Structure 1
Amino acid sequence: MTTFKQPHSVLVVIHTRALDVLLLERARHPGLWQSVTGSREGDEAPAVTAHREALEETGIDSTLYLLHDWHIENTYEIFATWRHRYAPDVTHNNERVFSLELPGRIDITLAPEEHRDWCWLPWQEAAERCFSWSNRDAIRLLGANTRRS
């Protein structure tokens, strides 16, 4: 039996206090940069998914830092390229947004089957490099909200 991905995922914008944002380049799609993302497994809560995905994709133990649930959910159409991973009738995904604040830039341990490179960029540059509108908008919101604080 084939196990399909659930159409419930997380987006985790990892950033420093100075608002440098970590981006990851997809291994199978060079040139596509993003924050940590991943689908829920089983019946795990969104925060559990966020912690698991951060560890799997970057090696960062997010339990050591401040993970913030933005209580924002984006719904978007799943790209045709990735739709085969979902049940045949699934066309849209619900994505919960989180941020993870680190005191400063750190080195990352990539999951090579998922990502081929990583970089830290100031939030404005990171937003422009993202291929996903929801990722871009989340980074822009991070910058706007932090400047007002």
Structure 2
Amino acid sequence: MAGNKQPVSVLVLLYTAQGRVLLIERADKPGFWQSVTGSKEGQEALLATAWRELGEETGFAAAQGVLHDWAQSSVYEIYPHWRHRYPEGVTHNTEHVFAFELSEESTPRLNAREHTAYVWLDWQEAAQRVFSPSNAVAIRELGRRLSPLS
């Protein structure tokens, strides 16, 4: 049976000015590390989706950091094992990138139904650890943004 998930999502990188990136491990796919992600619900604005997913997946709120809308998006093919969540025939998703800057590494409050572990890594290692190519691209972009000489 087909699902009703919208093929529009956000990717929220959590990072420190020192270039440390928070990754969380998926509960439904052990070994799959990622940044915060989630689909738009109803008519909510993308910024609202980013804030909702950030809170649901990590417990972090506005007082703990600054959320930046990078005004960037990419389209990728939805992995076959997750297509049942979307309407029949939907094979691609548009992902919008946001970044949440924290002043220091903090402990997230994980939703155990979605994520089982977390790790803070230098951005280079984080880009290698994530399973999603679009997540890796966003983390490498973060590295460029943090390194003004590159």
- TM-score normalised according to structure 1 size: 0.96
- One-letter amino acid of the counterpart of residue 113, structure 2: E
Amino acid at match of 1:14: L
After superposition, what is the alpha-carbon deviation per residue over 1:107-131, rounded to whole angstroms, capped at 9, x for unaligned?
A: 1110111001001001001010000
Alignment-derived partner of residue 6 in structure 2:
6
CA contact (8 A) 1:12 1:36 kept: yes
Q: Secondary structure at the match of 2:147?
A: helix
Q: Which amino acid aligns with 2:25?
A: E
Question: What is aligned with 2:99?
Answer: 99
Aligned CA-pair RMSD: 1.5
SS in 1 for 2:90: coil
| 2:34 is equivalent to residue 34 of structure 1 | yes
Give the secondary structure class of the aligned counterpart of 1:89.
coil
Secondary structure at the residue paired with 1:148? coil
What's the secondary structure of 1:68's corresponding residue?
A: strand
1:132, CA displacement in angstroms?
0.4
- 5+ residue gaps in structure 1? none
1:80 matches 2:75: no
Q: TM-score, length-normalised on structure 2?
A: 0.95
Q: CA deviation at 1:62?
A: 3.4
1:64 deviation in Å?
4.2
Aligned length: 149
How far the C-alpha of 1:145 sits from its partner, in A, is: 1.5
Aligned position for 1:45: 45
